[in-house]
Structure 1
């Protein structure tokens, strides 16, 4: 996608000058909240929406003005869009029929596609006779049956319960690795994106904020939106005092000073947010060393089996969370206990605070 924009009213942009390369064979997820532009981007790739400006190329072939059926792209919709009056085999045969595939070849391609999604023997059933997970597999098989080079998926697991959703995430990922076909996947579920993707494009307000691996997004967010949207993070407000060798010294509004990795808060005097993952913060024992130390007061302890969730008041944040693994190490006793928390410079990210 080269300089692609989309406007429905000629004034406001749903997608703002998007430049995006999807690598052959990768699993790319478009992730973001509702209204961020991710689904509109997918629909422009598919041809169901027309780009207002810019160009879309598929393997160096311009497809910006081509109708969907001439792009050779497989699409899996959120509601599956199966034909209710057709059998499973007929649903899979349909895209082959419109492409004028020889009748002798259709049966074999349908059989292979059903084997691929583990639905052999379901040929004569209708969609209403299938579970949600089985319908999702049929929709995926229909998108793959004509052997496209690119498959697009618009929140295909949204209607499934949690357990089935997690199983289908694994199955889709395994199928992608086996076939080597390029997948572009849309979701608002960050855990789903982290579990499935080679790379993730995080959308906000029609702009890709960061395009990176799951690890890159989680460990090295480029701005405050990405840090807050991907995973859970604690935030402490302050001002950058100095920056040296990529590390920022921050004076916190609620008292105290910390040193962290400078992301986009890399200039002295900049208003900043410190982002800290709950599992990277430790409750320190007396005289235990740490790059950064802050005082806190316990507000709540919640036992969750493998870890205890400790809610603290720290430097003006009354909902600061520490995830302490239940390994037998001593934990604070009850509310109002005074504690010292510690964390490393590498786990403390200094981000530019959004302007009010």
Structure 2
């Protein structure tokens, strides 16, 4: 969405979750105390691993699940007891959910006839929405005669045809192959920009979330860990879970040696000291996990200006077309990755070479210690 569009609706809240909880057995909370405001016209993605509560939150907003506690407001009024078909919400699922015995045009007309529109209005709107998703020639086909991408377009058109104020999408591109999926990501994003409708999108694919969204809410164990625009989420993760879940991330474990305002020094297990941004740290002596993105690491001569400078041994090259991932042993850790664009890679670099490398203070974040064994 353009910056203008995003800020124009920024003050107007369309959806509010207030203290929302969900439990299926009365003991374990799938969603814990969710407080979330969704702005009118924004594209918000709920991102997280399986079982993190993102889909349950979407289903409560759709009306297919009821909150155990708390309240959901749509345009300022509580919808806890409003049935799904009266919420003015469009839905797109991964499995398309099209009626197989109806043509494309009939599938699209169905939500309109249920709402009591006359035939002329229905055919006008169906025509308009078919052209929007570039399927004008397919009106008389049946779902079985369409490819997966075309079916997904029809499902998208059906969610938009009655001009809802809110469209919910649950892993809508999960069944498509990589190339088609990436193409559809851009199509949905551009449709959103043109229509200005509010979209809440659920995915476990971080690349998809970063590509499409105005803001992303990262879920873990029923709670939002961080909610921010994609770039901020990637560059400024608030905790170790977000740093690991979004993009690639090198982790170094150590203890807080000293802190001075928003800067700190962390001592690694073998005694090396790293200067870092103090983002989420405890007291001196407490364990800390450092987070450094692979593309922020400089090799050889490029590392001379870096505040943190070490040596690393090249273990492996992983070729990825436009860039190379170099696996290195650094500070006793043998899965430390450096990402180098092909144009910048030193062609003489070989497995076994020991080279200087470094990173700036502003590119290493001192976060909460990682509790898992990895």
TM-score, normalization by structure 1: 0.97
- Report the CA distance between 1:316 and its aligned residue: 2.3
- Report the CA distance between 1:65 and its aligned residue: 1.2
Structure-2 residue corresponding to 1:175: 191
How many residue pairs match? The answer is: 356
CA root-mean-square deviation: 1.4
Instruction: Map 1:253-292; keep pairs closer than 5 Å.
Output: 253-285=269-301, 288-292=304-308
Structure 1's unaligned 5+ residue stretches are none
Q: 2:128 aligns to what SS in structure 1?
A: helix
Distance 2:179 2:60 in 1: 32
Pair 84,259 (structure 1): closer, same or farther in 2 beyond 3 Å: same
Instruction: Map 1:133-212; keep pairs closer than 5 Å.
Output: 133-212=149-228
Bigger shift: residues 328-337 or 341-350: 328-337
Pair 256,94 (structure 1): closer, same or farther in 2 beyond 3 Å: same
Distance 1:324 1:336 in 2: 18
CA contact (8 A) 2:218 2:227 kept: yes
Structure-2 residue corresponding to 1:2: 18
Distance 2:36 2:138 in 1: 39
Pair 284,175 (structure 1): closer, same or farther in 2 beyond 3 Å: same
Structure 2's unaligned 5+ residue stretches are 1-16
Q: 2:134 aligns with which of 105, 113, 118?
A: 118
Structure-2 residue corresponding to 1:218: 234
Q: 1:252 aligns with which of 262, 265, 268?
A: 268
Q: 2:87 aligns with which of 54, 71, 90?
A: 71
Q: 2:246 aligns with which of 221, 230, 235?
A: 230
- Report the CA distance between 1:287 and its aligned residue: 8.3
CA contact (8 A) 2:303 2:356 kept: no
CA contact (8 A) 1:332 1:339 kept: no
Structure-2 residue corresponding to 1:131: 147
Pair 205,346 (structure 1): closer, same or farther in 2 beyond 3 Å: same
TM-score, normalization by structure 2: 0.92
Instruction: Map 1:320-339; keep pairs closer than 5 Å.
Output: 320-327=336-343, 330=346, 333-339=349-355
Distance 2:302 2:93 in 1: 56
CA contact (8 A) 2:62 2:89 kept: yes
- Report the CA distance between 1:329 and its aligned residue: 5.5
Structure-1 residue corresponding to 2:11: none
Distance 1:107 1:341 in 2: 64
Distance 1:114 1:214 in 2: 31
